Amino acid sequence: MILDYLLARARLFFKSEEGASAIEYAIVVAMVAVVVVVFVTPMGTKVFNIFSAILTSLGGTAPTKPGIP
């Protein structure tokens, strides 16, 4: 009786597609995160340089670029 129950649960587990869709969503989220990091990092450097140029032209001192912790 317990063995039949375990076999039935195992069959349901292997037929279930919820886990597969969760993994697919996790892969998509990981890919989006990589794209964001790849494109935002250079853009952040450009924005930092623009604001540094504005600050220097207004008579301030240019800040040092923060390092990666």
**Per-position DSSP letters for 4-69, written without gaps between them:** HHHHHHHHHHHH--HHHHHHHHHHHHHHHHHHHHHHHHHHHHHHHHHHHHHHHHTT-PPPPPPPP-
- The 10s digit of each residue's pLDDT in 12-66 is 777 766 666 778 888 999 999 999 888 888 888 888 889 888 988 998 887 777 7
Query: Whole-prediction pTM value?
Result: 0.46
pLDDT of residue 10 exceeding 90, the answer is no
Place of tokens 């340089």: 49
pLDDT tier for residue 5 given thresholds of 50, 70 and 90 = confident
Q: What is the domain partition of the chain in residue ranges?
A: 18-58
Q: What percent of the chain has pLDDT over 90?
A: 16
